[in-house]
Amino acid sequence: MPGGLKNDHRRSFDSFNHFNSQGAHIVLTKKRLNFFSLMIILVPVLIYNLNQFSPELIMKPDLHFYYVTFSSGIALLVGAASYLEYRKSKVEKIFYLSIGFIGVGVFYTFHALVTPKMTIMQPFEFASAVININVFVLFGDLSRIWLASMMFMPDHLFGEKKEIKKWFNGYMLLILLILLSVLSYKGLMNPEIFPVFKNDDLTDTNFAILIKVATLQFLGINALKYYYSYKAKQNITILSFIIGLCLIMETVIIFMISKPWSANWWLAHNLFLMSYIVIGLGVLYSYFSKEKYEYFDVLGQINNYTKLLEEKNMKLNQLANYDALTGLSNRSRFIHETEAYIHKASAENTAFALMFIDLDYFKSINDKYGHQIGDEVLKIVAAKISNQIKSSDLAARIGGDEFLVLLKEVNRVQIGEISARLVERLSEPIVINEYRCQVGASIGISIFPDNGRTIDELISVSDEAMYKVKKEGRNNYLVLAVSD
């Protein structure tokens, strides 16, 4: 690579942004960003390991209420910021992100309101402490799977469907906020309807574990997609989403293996708050800077290219093996398939028949009505031939008004019956655009192995038989005897 191009390439990847602090420039290079991102993801893991040495419970329900209420407010702000970014960019994924954080704001608020043993307020009464802790944990888990599922939504689910996209507005978000709040409140009036999330010893039930595993799957798949997108095209907003998703995954794992009020449990709350602060900063960066959210769906593109390649291969196979006009096999495919069947029949010592069909009076149709009508006649003739043979048999158009048919596993009686039906069907009048077209068929038939053991011999004999039919009056069939 030339030096100038190489330097430009390096600069495009290394220089993301410049911040001026007291006259000094700090350059956020690709390596520094990646290192910073890795630390954000790994440091909580190290802190978690250190917290293993302090397993005592930290019972501060009032602090939990204030902390989670503050977190809910941050989530709602991120949801509002995401909606503002959607209005500016019209990126469908960002609207789903706003829905996700609106849901987190609602569910996390109720998570705070049902905090057990609060002294400042008790807005809900529960029949037992077990029910209280159950709904307490439920709303926490619900906030995370809601956000994970919204971030899992495809970037272009509705594409350009304006009749649906018109509902992507602030009124819909407000209605959703009210609806989720009402449903959550109604549920807390009858908490027994909620599934059980905690056992008596405060460990997760199987259902709770299933919810957390599903959340991790949504988050993991989405993080992988964003990782591939970032590898293909560096984008700070995409990077913030990757970090945020990884932090939420850490949050879910720590909540899964810790008990309420433990040190690790408190750590998980911090990680969850940190996750959507990071995502929110990424959204704000896209809103205020020139570098916008830009997702490159690598896996989707690979899938599209694969489908396109399959379609191209199918078209090439169609062109290489089938007659473009009638859809029957072409000569090369017929010869290849018949040669393969000759080997099979020779090994199994079985017989089969090969038909050579030549239409009668077809040239007069072309001369009288034109080639367009003649082509339509050929299509109808091909369909009639296909309808009179088994699906395992093979029919081909080898040029003009000539056809070959391979009849597998037939005896002489069956050959006669099939040939007679073909002569009858092909001699029936064909009406196209009020034009009455009348053709017939002269059919010559050779039988393996009596009339030949190679494809050339069989075609030659059936061709000879077809010409004898022509000479003797046409519109008939003939199985050429060996003595002939």
Residue 357 and residue 229 share a domain:
no
The pLDDT score that the predictor gives to residue 420 is 94
Owning domain of residue 54: 27-298
What's the CA gap between 111 and 269, in Å, rounded?
Answer: 12
312 vs 52, higher pLDDT: 312
- Residues 118-133 have a mean pLDDT of 87
Model pLDDT for residues 391-426, shown as the tens digit of each residue = 999 999 998 999 999 999 899 899 999 999 999 999
For residue 369, being part of any structural domain is answered with yes
Residue 383 and residue 244 share a domain:
no
Residue 291 and residue 340 share a domain:
no
Query: 279: helix, coil or strand?
Result: helix
Q: What percent of the chain has pLDDT over 70?
A: 87
Burial class (CB in 10 A: 0-12, 13-18, 19+), 351: middle
C-alpha 118: how far from chain center: 47
Model pLDDT for residues 43-90, shown as the tens digit of each residue = 666 555 555 545 567 788 999 999 999 999 999 999 999 999 999 988
- Residues 365-370 have a mean pLDDT of 90
The pLDDT score that the predictor gives to residue 54 is 52
Residue 332 and residue 219 share a domain:
no
Residue 82 and residue 50 share a domain:
yes
Cross-strand bridge partners of residue 215: none
For residue 174, being part of any structural domain is answered with yes
For residue 1, being part of any structural domain is answered with no
Model pLDDT for residues 129-177, shown as the tens digit of each residue = 888 989 999 999 999 999 999 999 887 778 777 888 888 999 999 999 9
Nearest to 346 by CA among 445, 444, 454, 451: 454
DSSP 65-125: HHHHHHHHHHHHHHHHHHHHHHHHH--HHHHHHHHHHHHHHHHHHHHHHT-TT-SS---S-
Cross-strand bridge partners of residue 437: 430
Nearest to 231 by CA among 295, 291, 177, 174: 295
Residue 374 and residue 243 share a domain:
no
Q: Would residue 31 be called left, alpha or beta, if left means φ above 0 and alpha means ψ between -120 and 50 degrees?
A: alpha
For residue 317, being part of any structural domain is answered with no
The DSSP bridge pattern shows strands 402-407 and 352-360 to be: antiparallel
For residue 305, being part of any structural domain is answered with no
- CB neighbours (10 Å) of residue 219? 27
Q: Which residues contact 312 (CB under 8 A, 6 or more apart)?
A: none
CA atoms within 13 A on the CB side of 469: 27
